[in-house]
Each structure stands twice: as C-alpha cells, then as structure tokens.
Structure 1
C-alpha cells in the first residue's frame, strides 16, 4: 500500500513538473514567428526583400507601425515633448517611412554600403530581426536657449541609421538618394556599419574570447581614460566595462574608422576611437594586441575583415 501511495505521489509530481515546463515554454516568444509577412506589396523590389528574408531570416520592412520601431520592453524610444517643461523634448529619434518610389535604389545602396562587406555566415548570425526602410531618421534632443527664463527648443540631427532593441532604421528611401556624392556614401557606410556593430553589442551577441579577456584587468576601478587605455580597455571606464562590452567596442572602432585614423597621434584624454593604436593612447601595446585578436577572429571564423569596412568608409 505504501509503495502504491509513493508511486502515485511521484507520478503526480512528474505531471506537475511537465505541465510547468510546457507552460513556461509556451510563454517564450518565438523568433520564428514575428507577425510580419513579406512581400508587403507587388513591386519589383519585393522579390529582393523576400529573397533577403529567405536567406537571412531578417525582414526588410517598408510598411510598419510606430510600435514596430519605437517600442522596447523598457519603454518607447521615440522623441516626445515634455509634459512639465515648456519646449523641452525627451531624447530619442524620429523616422519617416520609406517613399516607395525610392526603395529599389535604397536596397542597392544598402547592399553597396553594408551587406556586401560581410559573408552570409556573418549576416545570418548577426543581422537583427527587422530593418526598417525609411526616408530619413533624426536624432531629437532639447537645446537650452535661455536661462532667464529657462527655455528649451526641439533640436534635430539627421543620423542616417538608428539601432533600437530588435531593429535598425535606415534612411535614404527618398529624393536625397539621388544627390548623394561619394563623400556622402562614405559617411553613410561608416554610420550604418557602426550602428550594425552597436546592435550586435546591444543584443549581447558580442562575445569576448578567453585570450582577449585575459589581456585586461577588470577588477580595478579606473578613473581616467589614460589608465583604462593602458589596460587595453576602450569601453568607457566609468560605465563598468567588461570583456564582452570591450569586444564590441573594438568592432565599432574597426568598422567606423580607417587604420590611418586609428594610428593618428591623439591625446589620451580623448574618448573617441581616433588614435587608439598610437603609443600616445596605447602606452603598453595592449590595445593593439586586443585589436589584432578581434580582427583576426572574424577573418578566421567568418572570412570578414572588419577593418576593411572602416578603411572604405574613411
């Protein structure tokens, strides 16, 4: 009798555990079902968009809602006016959706300034879920114009591309694409690949190798850029750097700056990537050591030279 009771209790426990497991799994959102459908129309460029999705699992969207691009689990990221301070705008961004007449040209621009620099293996692993095709994208912020009384105005700056949570917004699906000069395309290349790198870091896909992590000492609290640079740390010293975050910053440096700029003599108080390979910043040679580790990792494992992107963009 005791054995029967014990067997019943065990079986009931197993059923409960299995039920809980299935319930938790059901609550996990699937990357396979994002609620989008391509093609979104019957234009000649829709075939390109469908082929891109079939190849990489990423949606190139020109029809989407504000929630699709601005929403994140921690709040909406679109710029909004303050409800308490006149003229003040909360920092964020604004986008204007693509003009359908220019999407074909925009897709060609994206291929020449972004996708062609990476192998299929790299893109399959690192592209975000959604790429929003836009006419323009502006960074929005408040500018103080008077202290008496305190007065702000909304300010905007065209940025070309923006990363937010699971998507990247890209610009130039509009008349401006017809007047882009070579210098404009270089600047766009630098911007869009920097944003791509930021998205890789933001989605926690930048993973440092053991030998890269071992070069720097993260147990110390650094108080200056010079001290952090001496350890090979590029991530802002005041924001709790880690090996993974640093790895991502090395990616950003390569895709956004040429080797000439990276080797330029620059003060060790400077917070940009300029001069990180010069002895003025890299006093112990640790930045160059780590730089080579990151660059060689992607060449070896993905056949992608990240520095070739920065060289082409500058």
Structure 2
C-alpha cells in the first residue's frame, strides 16, 4: 500500500510540474514592452525602416516620447539644472517627415555604409531616433551684470543614451550639407556609435591584445605607456579601456594623421604610429591586432571610417 501511495504521489507531482511548465511557456511576462512597432506610418520611407528592423532588429523611430529618449536604468538623462550647472545630455526633436528619406540616405552613406550586416546586427542599439534637432547642452557663464550660469547649446550630429542613438539632420539642412559638414557627421555619428558599444559592454578585447602589454607595472609618463604599446594613458588603465582607445583612434583619425610625427607630450591619438611616439613599434603592433580583428571577424576596416573624416 505504501508503495502504491508513493507512486501516486510521484505521478501527481510530475503532472503538476508538467502543467506548470506548459502554462509558463504560454504566459506573456507582465513587464514586456511592446511600445515600439514599425512601420509607424505608410510613407515610402517606412519600407526602408522596416527593412532595417528585419535585418538588424533596430527600431528607427520618427515618432517617440521623451521616455523613449531619456529613460535609462540609472536615471533620467534629459539635461536639467539641479545645482546651478546643467547636467550632460542633449535636447532633441523628431524629424520633419518631408526630410526623412534624405536623412535615411545620409545614415546609409555616412554611417551604415562603413559596416557589414554582421557588424550592424551585433552592435546597433535597440533604437535610432530620427531627429531634426540634437542639441548638446552645457553650462555657459554670463559675467554681466552679475555672474550667472546659463544654458548653452550646440548642434551635434548625434548623441546616445543607454539603448538609443539620436541622429540629427531630419530637416532642410540635410539637403545643403557642405563637404566639411558631411565629414563632421561621419566623425560624430561613428564616434557616438562606438561609445554606445563601449557603454553596453559588447566588445571585449581579445586575449592576444590583453596579454600583449603590461598593465600592472606602475607608470608615471605617457612616454612609458607608449613604450609598452599603451595609448590610453598611464594611470588606472585596463586592457578594455586601451582596446576602446585604439578603436576610437581608428574611427576619428585618418591614416596620415596617425602616421604623422607628433610630439610625445601630445596626449591625443595623433602620431601614435610614428616612431616619435612609437619608438619600439609596440603601438603599431597592437594597432594591427585591433584593426585585423575587426577585418577578420566582421569584414570591417575601422580605419576607413577615420580616413573618411578627413576626406581620404
């Protein structure tokens, strides 16, 4: 009798577990977010936006709320004036519908065009906000009649918060961009793209790169760091921050700028491949590790981005 009862108990428990498992599979989590849907309209550019979503899983939105732009897990990122100075951030406005086609062409030619589908699918954020205004906000000071902190703004090509990148030029100015403005767009939007990748922790350095420099021995000068092939600096450095610095150098400096002779006291990436800053050749060796990784893994030459910022 005891065995019979035990068998019935086990069978009952198994049936209960199976029923629970089945019910879990069909339930929709109460916290799911179904806010974002494309297309947002029935314009011709909506087809392009849907195609991008199908390829990369990224929502390109021309209708959005402040929450879509500014909410992050660590706080609200819209610039404010809490203690007499403005917090870092950007103010945005959604694109004018008449210029979205041209804006999408700008994004295709000056941003997406540098990367393969594999790269974009891996690294694009969840949302791209199509904007006619992206103004970086900062604190400015007026000295007359009294010393006062006021809001300063500067038009920028792009900005990012958490899971989204806000892209400018969704207005008439997209059709009158000068060559210099287009190069500046390439510089800014691709730099912001890389910074958003770093912030989301998506791109760890390879073991080869991490093991190719000594990050543990204390240093006191840039010359010492350069001698080890390190370009991020000499204080509180990591392989990750150094890896990010090499990527940033490639997408913001042209090959001639990186190879120019620049004083070793200069703390920018300019001249890092020249013997003035790289007498041991360690920087160039590690630069090639990073560049070749992206070429081999994703079919992307990041240096072509930096070259384009200078019209090469």
What TM-score do the two structures reach when normalised by structure 2?
0.86
Cα RMSD of the aligned pairs, angstroms, is: 3.6
Q: How is 1:211-226 mapped onto 2 (pairs within 5 angstroms)?
A: 211-226=208-223
Partner of residue 296, structure 2: 300
Tell me, in whole angstroms, the C-alpha distance in 2 between the residues paired with 1:106 and 1:145: 36
Please tell me whether residue 132 in structure 1 is matched to residue 129 in structure 2.
yes
- Give the Å deviation of 1:34: 5.5
- Give the Å deviation of 1:295: 0.8
- Give the Å deviation of 1:136: 2.1
Of the three residues 249, 252, 276, the one matched with 2:248 is: 252
- Give the Å deviation of 1:296: 0.9
Tell me, in whole angstroms, the C-alpha distance in 2 between the residues paired with 1:282 and 1:123: 33
Partner of residue 265, structure 1: 261
Please tell me whether residue 190 in structure 1 is matched to residue 187 in structure 2.
yes
Q: How is 1:143-292 mapped onto 2 (pairs within 5 angstroms)?
A: 143-146=140-143, 150-238=147-235, 240-292=236-288
The gaps in structure 2 that reach 5 residues or longer are: none
Partner of residue 61, structure 2: 61
- Give the Å deviation of 1:281: 2.1
What count of residue pairs does the alignment treat as equivalent?
309
- Give the Å deviation of 1:243: 1.5
Partner of residue 120, structure 1: 117
Kindly indicate whether the alpha-carbon contact (under 8 Å) linking 1:206 and 1:245 is maintained by their aligned counterparts in 2: no
Runs of 4+ in 1 over 4 A off after TM superposition: 147-150
C-alpha change, 1:165 and 1:222, in structure 2 (3 Å) is farther
Tell me, in whole angstroms, the C-alpha distance in 2 between the residues paired with 1:134 and 1:105: 12
- Give the Å deviation of 1:87: 5.7
Q: Deviations over 1:218-276 (max 9, x none)?
A: 113434333323222233444x3221222222111111110011112223333322111
Partner of residue 71, structure 1: 71
Tell me, in whole angstroms, the C-alpha distance in 2 between the residues paired with 1:262 and 1:114: 22
The gaps in structure 1 that reach 5 residues or longer are: none
Kindly indicate whether the alpha-carbon contact (under 8 Å) linking 1:106 and 1:172 is maintained by their aligned counterparts in 2: yes
The alignment partner of 1:309 has SS state of helix
The alignment partner of 1:45 has SS state of helix
- Give the Å deviation of 1:279: 2.1
Q: Which has the larger radius of gyration?
A: 2
C-alpha change, 1:71 and 1:235, in structure 2 (3 Å) is farther
- Give the Å deviation of 1:33: 5.7
Tell me, in whole angstroms, the C-alpha distance in 1 between the residues paired with 2:69 and 2:233: 28
